[in-house]
Amino acid sequence: MKISKKLSKISESETLKVTELAGELRRSGVDVISFSAGEPDFPTPTPIVETAKKALDDGLTKYAPTQGIPELREAIASSIYERTGVKYDPSEIIVTCGAKSAIFLALSAILEDGDEVIIPSPYWVSYPEQVKLVGGVPVIVKTSESDRFKVRAADIRDAITKKTRALILNSPSNPSGAVYKRDELAEIAEICSENDIAVIADEIYDRLVYDGSFSSFVSSHPKGRDIAIYINGFSKAYSMTGWRVGYAASNRDVIRAMTRYQGQFLTCIPPFIQKAAVDALRLHPEEILSMVEEFRRRRDIATRLIDNIPGVSCIKPEGAFYILINVERLIGRSFGSFKINSAGDLALFLLKEAGIAVVGGGAFGAEGYIRLSFATSEENIVKGLNRMKEAVERLI
């Protein structure tokens, strides 16, 4: 059967592929420590689970409104206001199948074939692929380690053409952990506002900030709300990755377009999950803060251990739960007949020789780096990074 040419241009998710490969090796008896998964290793808080159980017992198993149940959209509007100081009406919010789906719907709602979308690199692996899926053209703007992997407003200005329709901005960032300051966001907002460019502000990691405070794009500039499609969800801060519930907020026209699209391919998010999401937003802050503090502690342990590995270096991330490790000095080395020609080769070497799963930076537009997730136990972090040190020391 013939496969669509459109799909032939789309790459498989490297993060999911590595996670699956690590799982296969583990099932075959290999002791693999995975640093590849982008999900908290904490259980979903008990009150959220109990609410979902009760909702099932109460018969909330039928179709829900495509845009999301009113109670959840009202709770989301309150949460956004509490976090950013920006008001959205519940009619300006859509509940989606995770933040990933929200981004896809947003792109589908605003892009015509051939429209360009600026994506700073390093980027989350799905951004350019989703742009291509909806007929857009990803325009990659490289950032530098010296700028802490944050795109400069001037570089965005230089990338703008007559076809530029949108910018995807992720703060805190996957994979770098970079967190934009308010003045940096304001500069970017000014340029995008002047050029009628929509900003898809992916702030899914907004509660996972370790140094300083978090600033939202939508509150950074008087026009921030007007030009933004605000993206967030429940996967990271509430450890609800498998529940698949996220949301977007924007003007009514955009949200109506996203709702029409969702109605044709998904229908709705299950109502018992939406009911649980309402309670997640009512969770006592200590539930989240304790997880954030644990991630901060793990980050500090991981970066100290990385500093002791010869030939690599890293910047301490300010948010999210990833570390981009600079491995450029290891490119060109070898182990036996195995030659390290790329960061992807190094990731494969570490999986086979050290039993640790990391993701090569090429998947994120960051060749010369590997991404490590510290969303795993302290024991795994210590054991895994010690294995990495021993393996790297064998490279010549």
Q: What is the maximum span of the chain, computed from C-alpha positions, in angstroms? A: 63
Nearest to 128 by CA among 181, 170, 96, 71: 170
| Backbone φ and ψ of 381, nearest 5° | -60, -50
pLDDT digits (tens, 9 = 90+) for 303-351: 999 999 999 999 999 999 999 999 999 999 998 888 999 999 999 999 9
CATH of the domain at 23: 3.90.1150.10
Domain boundary among 240, 257, 283: 283
Contacts 24+ apart (CB under 8 A), 49-55: 49/276, 51/275, 51/276, 51/278, 51/279, 52/272, 52/273, 52/275, 52/276, 55/271, 55/272, 55/275, 55/276
Residue 11 identity = S
**Both 249 and 126 in a single domain?**
yes
Number of domains in the chain: 2
pLDDT digits (tens, 9 = 90+) for 119-141: 999 999 999 999 999 999 999 99
Q: How far apart are CA 354 and CA 362, in angstroms?
A: 21
CATH of the domain at 144: 3.40.640.10
Q: Is residue 3 packed enough to be buried (19+ CB in 10 Å), middle (13-18) or exposed (0-12)?
A: exposed
**Both 161 and 271 in a single domain?**
yes
Residue 290 is assigned to a structural domain of this protein = yes
Domain housing 203: 62-283
Listing DSSP states for 286-342 in one string gives HHHHHHHHHHHHHHHHHHHHHHTSTT-EEPPPSBTTEEEEE-GGGTT-EETTEE--S
Q: Whole-prediction pTM value?
A: 0.94
Predicted pLDDT of residue 176: 97
Residue 54 is assigned to a structural domain of this protein = no
Predicted pLDDT of residue 38: 84
Predicted pLDDT of residue 31: 86
Predicted pLDDT of residue 158: 98
Helix (H) or strand (E) holding 94: strand 93-96
- Token reading at 80: 């956004």
Which residues share a beta bridge with 230? 201, 249
Q: Under a CB-based contact definition with an 8 Å cutoff, are residues 164 and 116 in contact?
A: yes
* Neighbour order of strands in the sheet with 359-360: 313-314, 322-326, 369-373, 359-360
Predicted pLDDT of residue 8: 66
- Which residues of the chain are under the pLDDT cut of 70? 7-9, 11-17
- Token reading at 255: 């949200």
Q: Give rounded-to-5 percent helix, strand, coil for the chain.
A: 45, 15, 40
**Both 142 and 226 in a single domain?**
yes
What secondary structure letter does DSSP report for 263? H
